[in-house]
Amino acid sequence: MKNWLLVIAMAVLLAGCAEPLPENRLDYVGQWRSKEMSLLILADGTVAYERLKSGGTTSINGPMQGFEGDDFIVGLLFLTTRFEVSEPPHEVEGDWTMVVDGVRLWRVPEKAIQLDNTI
């Protein structure tokens, strides 16, 4: 019986692991911000999200499960969230931007990330 519990626990852990971003999606990597949203995407597939809306805060931290078109899925097993990307990452006058869930985000330069550890 203990062996089966160990097998089940390992299967759950493996199913929840983040998938590293494919090479053609590395433009998504970085810390992205607007006044009401912060989104951190790491190359290993780790995602941290926080949004202020309607007087409350929503936050999600978890592994990226993959992409569907330009959208990406974050979460574990059946508890996932789809982030709708209406404009994938692209450069505008030297700055990177994308639109996620209807919010325009700007990539924070790495120098600024090192000075500011908040999400």
- Using one digit for the tens of pLDDT, what is the confidence trace for 13-24? 444 567 799 999
What global pTM score does this model have? 0.79
pLDDT, average across residues 44-65 = 94
To the question of domain 2-115 being in CATH 2.40.128, the answer is: yes
Query: CA 17 to CA 79: how far, in whole Å?
Result: 13
How do residues 16-53 score in pLDDT, each as one tens digit?
567 799 999 999 999 999 999 999 999 999 999 999 98
What local confidence, expressed as pLDDT, does residue 46 receive? 95
**Domains of the chain: which residue ranges?**
2-115
Question: How many whole angstroms separate alpha carbon 49 and alpha carbon 2?
Answer: 37
CB-based contact 71:88 (threshold 8 Å):
no
